[in-house]
Every structure is written in structure tokens, then in C-alpha cells.
Amino acid sequence: MSHHQHAVHQIDDGRRPWSADEFEARLRDKGSSYHIHHPFHVMMAEGQLTQAQMQGWVANRYLYQTAIPIKDAAILSNCPDRDIRREWIERILDHDGRLVNGVQEPGGIEAWLKLGEAVGLTRDDVTSERLVAPAARFAVQAYVNFARQQPWQEAIASSLTELFAPHIHQQRLDLWPEAYPWIQPEGLQYFRNRLTQARRDVQHGLRFTLGYFSQTRALQERALDILQFKLDVLWQISDAIEKAYP
């Protein structure tokens, strides 16, 4: 089935599309808005967060972790292309876990709960969501709603903040053991897992976005706007945590 079914904003205003290289470069340039540059994350990288702040971050980001397979399921439910679904469903299994030869692999959400325990929270502290700031909840729900309501091609493009994720995961693996020696090292497994998973996801999401949105300049600009929306969601979550845990 064609990727171009249920096409988004098929406006051709006569402008030449950017080349694939130029388009990809513009997508990657959006990394300047990634939340690695948010003051809260800068403090985190510099080893300046208190234990309460780190706990607040883990508890609030749990809400985002649990939303990822839900938004991915929304993308699948809107997508008529079996090949895309076959590749995309891996993301749900990465987070929710999967059975491999009769053995349950716990998945990313479980790894995040282990991170919660490593920073001194109980599972109930995290899963109850009682530490979640209202603005963070609002931002996460906006992202899930986007994936449910917008064309699946746009929802795929919104996932491209993963372009910038391996760097932030590696930064935590490199810096936290020294900066936050009280965090139990087994809690960092989530970030180790995501180093390989995120790179695989990026290849898929980027390949699709570069192909589909390159049809017109207007579509390319739409993809950049979508990526900015997702960057804004992540920034807003960081804002909410910073305000809740000053």
C-alpha cells in the first residue's frame, strides 16, 4: 500500500524541495532546541541536582515513558502500511517488554522503574504518578493526542527527537557515576538499552521522513514544524519539573 494514501498537506507552491542532504541537515539543526540545553538538564549534566530534584525528574519522566507505547500504538492504528507497522511495532515491544523463547524481557518501562529505585523512590512512588507536575501531564497528553489525531506520517516525523537522544543517554552514562555516586549503577540500564534502540529507531523514522516529506518544500517545512512541536513538548516537561523542584 502506498505511503501516499491519506497524504498530509499536499501543497505544491512551486518552490523546489530541498535536497535530501539539505533537508536532513535542517532536521538535525533542530537539535539546538533539544532539552539537553534546558537549564535543568544542564544542571543535571554538571552534577548540581539534589536527590529530590533527580527523584522528581525520574518520577515525572515516567509519565512520558508510559505514553510512548500508547502513542506508538496510535500510529499503528492509523497506518495502513503493513511494512511500516511491522517495523514500528518493535518500539512498543522495546518499552512494554516481550517474550523471547518463553522468557519475558522486561522492557524499557520496567528499566525506568529500576532507575526510580536506584534514585531512592519506591515503585509505588513512581507508578502512582503522585509526584507528576500538572504541566508535565498536560504536555505528555498533548503528544499522545497528536499521534492519535494527526496523519500517521506526521506522527512518525514527530518521533525524530530521537536524532538527539543517543548523545544525552551517553552523557548520563559517562557523568552520573561520578557526579551522583549515590545512584545505584544497575539503575542506568535504561540508558544503555536506548543507545542501540534509539539509533535503530532513528534510521527508520529518518528514512521514512526524508522520503515522504521530500515531495514538496511545503511538506518539508511541515516536517520541521512537527519536529519543533515535539521538541517543545520535551522542553515543557523540563519546565514543569524545574518549577516543581526548584
Task: Write out residues in the chain with pLDDT < 70, as ranges.
Answer: 1-12
pLDDT tens for 153-188 read 999 999 999 989 888 999 999 999 999 999 998 999
**Pair 65, 122: CB distance under 8 Å:** no
| Spacing of C-alpha 207 from chain mean position | 17
pTM of the full structure:
0.89
For residue 214, give the amino acid letter: S
Tell me what pLDDT residue 104 has.
86
In this prediction, residue 151 carries a pLDDT of 96
- pLDDT of res. 12: 63
pLDDT on residue 100: 84
Structure-block grid coordinates of residue 74: 496510535
Question: What's the pLDDT score for residue 197?
Answer: 79
Nearest to 42 by CA among 137, 140, 179: 179
What is the per-residue burial (b if ≥16 Cβ within 10 Å, else e) of 40-73?
Answer: bbeebbeeebeeebbbbbbbbbbbbbbbbbbbbb
